């Protein structure tokens, strides 16, 4: 019971991090390591600034 609750909370927390983009840098690192292992990955700050710039250059919010 306790372990089930624990794993449920864990899943919920992962979903919240994923939805808000809190785990974005970790996902970027994973993707980067898989796709371009020979190129050094961007530092967190640079990546975040770039990612926000990209996010807000299109229509992202509605009425």
- In the complex, the residues that contact another protein under the rule CB under 8 A are 15-22, 24-25, 27-28, 31-32, 35, 44-45, 47-49, 51-63
Angstrom distance (rounded) from CA 14 to CA 56: 24
Closest contact distance (angstroms) between CB of 26 and another protein is 9
Residue with Cβ nearer another protein (10 or 27): 27
Pick 6 or 31: Cβ nearer another protein: 31
Cβ contacts of 23 within 8 Å, gap of 6 or more = 14, 17
């Amino acid at each position: 019971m306790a372990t089930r609750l624990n794993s449920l909370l864990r899943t919920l927390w992962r979903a919240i991090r994923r939805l808000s983009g809190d785990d974005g840098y970790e996902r970027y690192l994973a993707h980067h390591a898989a796709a371009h292992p020979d190129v050094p990955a961007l530092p967190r700050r640079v990546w975040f600034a770039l990612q926000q710039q990209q996010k807000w250059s299109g229509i992202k919010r509605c009425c």
